[in-house]
Structure 1
C-alpha cells in the first residue's frame, strides 16, 4: 500500500501494519511520521525496540537475527531500520525481500530512508516492501501549498492567521520546514490561543529561508518573479558560488531550448521531454515554461548567460548578481510564443 503523508494519521487510527517504509525529501516529516508509528506501536503492545542503522559494511544478517531475538516474556518488538543512503544494495535487497516472506505478528519493521528517485521506487526490494506493508512518501509541500501547511500547524496549537500572515511566514521559511516548525512553536510561546495579527507575526518570525540552486530552478520554470528574485538575493547573501548559479540556470535554459526546438519541429511531447532529460516535477514545470518562451527568448537567454560567464572570468565589467536577476526576469516574462 502506498500512502501520502497526510493520509498516515487516519490510517494509524484504523489499524497498524506489520511493516512501514517512510521516505521523502523532508527529514522533519519523516521523523514525525516515524514518531507517530512508534507511538501507535507502543499502545499496541510493541514494548521492545531495536535500532539498526545501515552504514558501510553493515551485516544484513542482523536484521533477520533481530526478529528472532524476542523477549523471554513474549513482548512484541519494533525494529527501527534506518538506511541513510537510501540504497540497501544487493545483499540488503535480498534481506528485505526475505523479511517480507517471513513477517511475524510479534515484530513490526519501520524503515526510514531519504528521498528516492523513480528508479528506486520501481526496484524489486521497494515493491516487495510496499506490497507487504505500507509505504509513505513524505515530501515538503511546494511554496503554493506552504501557507495551508502552516495554517494546519497553527490550528494544532489553537492559533489562526489571515492569508497575509500565512504568506509572510511561508516566504521566510521557504525550503526549511524544520525552521517553519520552530517558528510556529515560538508563536505558541509568545501569544495566547486565538487569531494572530500580521504585526504579531512580523515581530516574531525571523527570515530563515534556505535558498539553493534547486529552488532557483523551480522558480525559473514556474515563472515566479518574486520567488526567483528572493532566491537569487538569498544565494548572494549566503555566498553561493556564481559558477554554480550560472550552471543551474543554463541547465534549465538548454533543456527548455531542446524542448522548444522539438515541439516547433512537430515532434511528440513525450519524446522531446525524454531527449531534454526532464522527469518528475521538473517535467511539469518545463511543460508550463515552454508555453511562454519561444526559441528567440531562449537563444537570447543563452547569450545573456554567456555575458555572465565572461563577468565571472573577469573579461567584462558589470554587477554579476544584477545580471543574474535580469536573466531570471527575462525567463519569467509571460508572452505568446514567437517563431
Structure 2
C-alpha cells in the first residue's frame, strides 16, 4: 500500500506487514519517516537492528542469510537496506520472496531515493508493494513551503506571523533541514509564542558566519580556495554535515539536468525554473556551465554517496573529508581522488 508521510502514524496502528519501503529525495522527511518506523518496530520488540547499503554488485545472499539465521540473543531483527540502485534479478527475486512470506522474527525497511514511475509500474515492484507499506515522499515545492513551515512552528508551540514565515522561507531557499534547524534555534532564543519577522531576522543574524548557500555559490564561481574556507568554518562551528550534503547533492542533480538539457538543445532557463532556482542565480549557473564539463558529475555523485554513508556511520572515512572532496570537485578541482 502506498501512503503519504502524514498517513504513516495511523497506518502503523493497523498491524502493518513485515516490509516497509520509504522513498524520496527529501532528506529530512525521509529520515523522519524511517525514524518513526524504527520506533514502531522497537515497540514491537524488533530490538536488533542491522543496516546494509545495496549497490549494483550487492550480494543478495546476505539478506537471505540473515532471515534464516537466529539472533544470538533470540531478539527479533529490523533489517535496513539502503538501495543505491535498482536491484538485479537476484535482488528482485529475494525481495518478492520476503514480501510473499515475511519471516516472523524480522522486519525489512527498504530506503531509497525517488523511485521513478517506470519502476513503480513494473511487475516485480507491484508484487512487493501489494504486500508492504510504501511511504512515498515528494519534495515540498515553493508554494507549499510556507504552509509546511507554519505547521512545523505550530508543532513546537509557536504562532508565526505571515511575514515571519516568508522571511524564514526566503532564508532557507527550500532546504527543509535548514528550516528545521532555524526553528530549533528559535526555540532556544525565543520564549514567546508569538513569532514575528524581527524574531526570525535575529535568529538568522545569530547564525554561523557562513551558510551552505555561500558554499554552493563559491563552488559555482569555481573559487576552490573560498569554498575550502567556508567548509572548514562550517565544520569548526559544528554545522550539521547532512545539511551540507543536501546542498551538494541538490546541485549535482540540478547540474546533471542542465547539462542533459543543453546536450538535447533545450533552453536551460526552463530547467532552472523547474528546479526553483532563484532568478538572480541564473547568470552564475550559465557562467559555470560555460567553463565546466559534465564528465566530473559521476565522481561527484559517488563522493556524495560516500558522505551519506559516513554520516550514517556506515563508512570509515570522515564525512567532512568526503564533503571537502565533493566541494572541490564541484569547484572544478579535478585531481580529487576517487
Change in CA separation of 1:75 and 1:105 when aligned onto 2, cut-off 3 Å: same
Change in CA separation of 1:243 and 1:183 when aligned onto 2, cut-off 3 Å: same
Q: CA deviation at 1:238?
A: 7.3
Q: CA deviation at 1:69?
A: 1.8
- In structure 2, C-alpha distance between the alignment counterparts of 1:174 and 1:124, rounded to whole Å: 38
SS of the aligned residue for 2:12 comes to helix
What residue is the counterpart of 2:116 in the other structure?
117
Q: CA deviation at 1:36?
A: 0.7
Matched, 1:26 2:31: no
- In structure 2, C-alpha distance between the alignment counterparts of 1:160 and 1:122, rounded to whole Å: 43
Q: CA deviation at 1:203?
A: 2.1
What residue is the counterpart of 1:7 in the other structure?
7
Larger radius of gyration: 1
| Equivalent residue pairs, number | 239
Change in CA separation of 1:42 and 1:193 when aligned onto 2, cut-off 3 Å: farther
Matched, 1:233 2:280: yes
- In structure 2, C-alpha distance between the alignment counterparts of 1:4 and 1:74, rounded to whole Å: 34
Measured against aligned partners, the alpha-carbon deviations of 1:160-213 in whole angstroms (never above 9, x if no partner) come to: 211221122112222322212212211112112511111111221367666756
- In structure 2, C-alpha distance between the alignment counterparts of 1:166 and 1:238, rounded to whole Å: 28
Change in CA separation of 1:15 and 1:151 when aligned onto 2, cut-off 3 Å: farther
Measured against aligned partners, the alpha-carbon deviations of 1:96-154 in whole angstroms (never above 9, x if no partner) come to: 11222231232111000001211111123321221111111112211111111111211
Matched, 1:140 2:132: no
Measured against aligned partners, the alpha-carbon deviations of 1:232-257 in whole angstroms (never above 9, x if no partner) come to: 32354578624499xxxxxxxxxxxx
What residue is the counterpart of 1:104 in the other structure?
103
Matched, 1:82 2:82: yes
The CA RMSD over aligned residues, in Å, is: 2.9
Matches for 1:1-339 after TM superposition, within 5 Å: 1-71=1-71, 73-85=73-85, 87-205=86-204, 212=254, 217=270, 220=273, 231-236=278-283, 241-243=288-290
- In structure 2, C-alpha distance between the alignment counterparts of 1:128 and 1:244, rounded to whole Å: 46
TM-score, normalization by structure 2: 0.63
* Conserved? CA contact 1:19–1:108, under 8 Å: yes
Runs of 5+ consecutive residues of structure 2 not aligned to the other structure: 214-246, 259-268, 293-338
What residue is the counterpart of 1:269 in the other structure?
none
SS of the aligned residue for 1:136 comes to strand
- In structure 2, C-alpha distance between the alignment counterparts of 1:217 and 1:50, rounded to whole Å: 43
TM-score, normalization by structure 1: 0.63
Measured against aligned partners, the alpha-carbon deviations of 1:206-238 in whole angstroms (never above 9, x if no partner) come to: 67666756796467469xxxx66xx13235457
Runs of 5+ consecutive residues of structure 1 not aligned to the other structure: 246-339
SS of the aligned residue for 2:25 comes to coil
- In structure 2, C-alpha distance between the alignment counterparts of 1:119 and 1:244, rounded to whole Å: 34
- In structure 1, C-alpha distance between the alignment counterparts of 2:200 and 2:55, rounded to whole Å: 42
